Every structure is written in C-alpha cells, then in structure tokens.
Amino acid sequence: MKKLLIALSLFLSLSAFAQKAERPLVQFSGIIINADSNTVVPYTNLTNISYKNWVVSSNYEGYFSFVAHEKDSIRISSVGYLTQTIVIPEHISNKSYILKIKLKAEAINLPQVRVFPWASTDEFKRDFLAMKFADDDLAIAAKNLSRGSVIAMARTLPHDGQTNQIMNLQGMHDNLMHMGSGPTNPLLNPIAWGSLIRSII
C-alpha cells in the first residue's frame, strides 16, 4: 500500500511538472507610460512572479521585451508610481503579446526634515556657547524709547493742528520781515554755510 501511494504521488508530481513545462512561451513586449500625462516611464522593473521572480527593466524610453509563459503574473513597479500586476493571457495565436501599460502616479508624504548648519555636536556646542541671545522685553522697550528712535518716529508722523499753526505764523512773520525787499539768498548766509561745513566734518 505504501509503495502504491509513493508511486501515485510521484506520478501526480511528474504530471504537474509536465503540465507546467508545457505552457507555451510568449514574447511579451510593450511600453510603460504615465496614466495622467501619457509620458514614458523609464527604467521600470517588471518582475515575473510566476518564474523565480525574474526581473527585467524597461529602457529610458519605457520600452521592454522579454520571453515569458502564458498565465505568468508580471508585477510592474517604479518609484513614484502605484504597483500593478498583470497576467499574460492564454492561447495567444502569434506567440507575441504587446501591451501598453499605464501607471498611476503615487503621492508619497515624507516626514519633515530639519537641516542644521553644524557638522558635529562639537560645532553646535561651540556656536551655542558663543550665541548672543535676544534682549528681554525691558531692554527692547528702552531701545524703542531712546532719543534717536523717538526722533526718527517723530519725523515720519504727520503734523498736528498746533504745529501747522506755528509753521503758518512763522511764514507770515517772514513775509512781513521781508516786505518791500527781495527774498534773501541762502547762499549769502554765513550761518547756513557754517552749518553745512559742520555737517560735512
């Protein structure tokens, strides 16, 4: 009985192997393109899952061609695209199977990476110890209320009513002082020349 079972199992395994070996060969060719833009996808990997994970790559124009068996499962994968699996059909008349494969782009969200300008921890420690920290709120307020800051801000502010009245009265006074005579020439004013020289020096 045991010999009969062994002989039967050997016969079944040999018949299965013979059926597997009898699958006809097919020249599988095609081109791989982007499903959205119809541009070629170069250097795509095509893995024959049914035959020892044999791998073939397409060229830079997305074209590929290799020999496979009917009913072989082919996995198509490329970086940035969703992986597809196709099965070569049976009973191909001319033993040549040509296919245009469209891959869909895959959106990959990468984690955030912060790049620091220090090559080592020693450089970071050195720069951290030499770092000048920002002033506190009191020091910032003192800088904003300094004489130079107040004068600079006052120059940018528009004149109020009192200042406009003073400037108007000063202009009227100057007109009364020079009534009946020509306007003064600032180039002949020695005080103005002295102010100019002091500002240059």
pLDDT tens digit string along 101-143? 999 999 888 898 888 888 888 888 888 888 776 667 778 788 8
Q: Answer yes or no: is 162 within a domain.
A: yes
Q: Which residues contact 99 (CB under 8 A, 6 or more apart)?
A: 28, 29, 30, 86
Contact 42, 60 (CB under 8 A): yes
Q: Which one of 82, 103, 124 terminates a domain?
A: 103
Q: How many CB atoms lie within 10 A of CB 62?
A: 21
Residue 27 included in any domain? yes
- Whether 120 and 173 map to the same domain: the answer is yes
Instruction: Find the CATH number of the domain harbouring 82.
Output: 2.60.40.10
Q: Looking at the structure, do residues 24 and 93 belong to the same domain, yes or no? A: yes
Residue given tokens 């494969």 in the structure block: 101
Q: Which of 103, 125, 146 is the last residue of a domain?
A: 103
199 in a structural domain = no
Residues 29 and 98 in one domain: yes
- Does 122 lie in the same domain as 65? no
The predicted structure's pLDDT at residue 17:
46
Whole-structure pTM value = 0.46
**99 and 124 inside one domain:** no
The answer to whether residues 91 and 149 belong to one domain is: no
pLDDT of 86-106, one tens digit each? 999 998 888 899 999 999 999
CA distances, 81 to each of 32, 33, 84, 100, 104 (Å): 11, 11, 9, 16, 6
Helix (H) or strand (E) holding 97: strand 96-103
Q: Are 80 and 130 found together in one domain? A: no
Kindly state whether residues 131 and 167 are assigned to the same domain: yes
How many angstroms separate the CA atoms of 78 and 42, rounded? 9
Residue 9 domain-assigned?
A: no
Q: Is residue 51 part of a domain?
A: yes
CA pair distance 76, 88, nearest whole angstrom: 13
Q: How many residues does the chain have?
A: 201
d(CA 40, CA 64): 12
In a domain, residue 197? The reply is no
Q: Is residue 134 in a domain?
A: yes
- Domains: count for the chain: 2
Based on the domain organization, do 99 and 118 belong to the same domain?
Answer: no
Q: For residue 103, what are the β-bridge partners? A: 34
Do 130 and 82 fall within a single domain? no
Q: What is the mean pLDDT of each run of 10 residues along the chain (201 residues)?
A: 57 51 86 93 95 92 94 94 94 90 90 84 86 74 83 83 89 82 76 86 76
Per-residue confidence (pLDDT) for residue 22, from 0 to 100:
72
Residue with tokens 């099965």: 87
Dist. CA 51–CA 182, nearest whole Å: 109
> What are the percentages of helix, strand and coil residues in the chain, rounded to 5?
40, 20, 40
Alpha helices in 70-136 (DSSP H): 121-129
The pair of structure tokens assigned to 186 is: 């600032």
Q: Which domain holds residue 154?
A: 114-179
